[in-house]
Amino acid sequence: MTDIQTRIEGQIGRITLTRPKALNALSYEMCLEIEKAQDAWAADDAVKMVLLDAEGERAFCAGGDIAEMYAAGTKGDFAYGRTFWSDEYRMNAKLFNFPKPVASLMQGFTMGGGVGIGCHGSHRVVGESSQIAMPETGIGLIPDVGGTLILARAPGRIGEYLGATGGRIGAADAIHAGFADYFVPEEKWPALTAELIETGDWEAIDRAAQQAPAGVLADQQAEIDMLFAGDSLTDVLNALQGATSEFAAKALKTLNRVSPLSAGCTIELVHRARASDDIQKALEQEYRFTYRSMDMGDFLEGVRAQIIDKDRNPTWKHGSPGDVTSLEITQMLLPLGENALKI
């Protein structure tokens, strides 16, 4: 297919996203193609490792292609989105558990679905242009594709902060937060790719890595840990409202823009993922929300405001973050019974 190339080159299996004009947004067909390649290469001795990369300078993968989900959902057809998510999550789990090294070269935007393919491998590379985020609360979703597990493993309460606010981070902060492992200057990526193809020696990534330019999260760690330590969104809001720093004011302003229901569920899901530290459990919990996101959540309105009409003025089900009750969060995350995610 034209949106993605999967092939064996030299010693590696290589997956290249080829939709640069669409910021390499991940379609349903692309998800299935990635899974097909994984299944073919897992036990193939000719493949020493897997490399994921993408065409274009602006993005590795700026997220999932959700326009078709929106189109179906607004007609009352929730099945397409649920199928997309369940199959995507299965592919994410296979990447996380892949029996060989998996490297990714993540230039530009890596968000949402891009995190699900770029940030579950063993050798995750960022460069000068890298901007990584899980901005789902801004469209009425939660950080999915296994994102809640990555957030749960971040130092302190950085996971709650990045997940609820959708904060965008550069290379050093991506490494600090656990979304990436290595900084390699992007001018070196072609030579590194060529060496991996020729040798299949993933330690070439270690040799090419350098110190990333300074980030900000490490300096903000203590304040983030204090402000986002609460058990619930209400606790976080109370802490932010009682603080006087510029950081707290900015975080509070952001939380007042995103979907209140999504922000509340995100904090709960990060806590649950931290308690279990299991990719399949994290994905199963995320699917409980995404399964219900069209009929019970803010997803359709969020996509309308941000992607379709682009008025950036969503009318959420709740007027403010403080209006979300613990019961509503519980209801969004109840087990799905026979509809539960199967991986």
Contact 60, 108 (CB under 8 A): yes
Task: Give me the catalytic one of 35, 53, 65, 136.
Answer: 136
Task: Give me the catalytic one of 13, 63, 112, 113.
Answer: 113
Active site residue 10: no
How far apart (Å, rounded) are the C-alpha atoms in residues 295 and 209?
46
Number of CB atoms found within 10 A of residue 65's CB: 21
**224 Cα distance to chain centroid:** 20
Q: DSSP letter at 334?
A: S
Closest by CA position to 253, among listed 237, 273, 267 = 237
Contact 151, 254 (CB under 8 A): no
Cβ-count burial of 267 within 10 angstroms (0-12 exposed, 13-18 middle, 19+ buried)? buried
Task: Give me the catalytic one of 13, 63, 64, 121.
Answer: 64
Active site residue 144: yes
Active site residue 113: yes
How far apart (Å, rounded) are the C-alpha atoms in residues 20 and 134?
20
Task: Give me the catalytic one of 35, 65, 88, 144.
Answer: 144
Catalytic residues: 64, 113, 136, 144
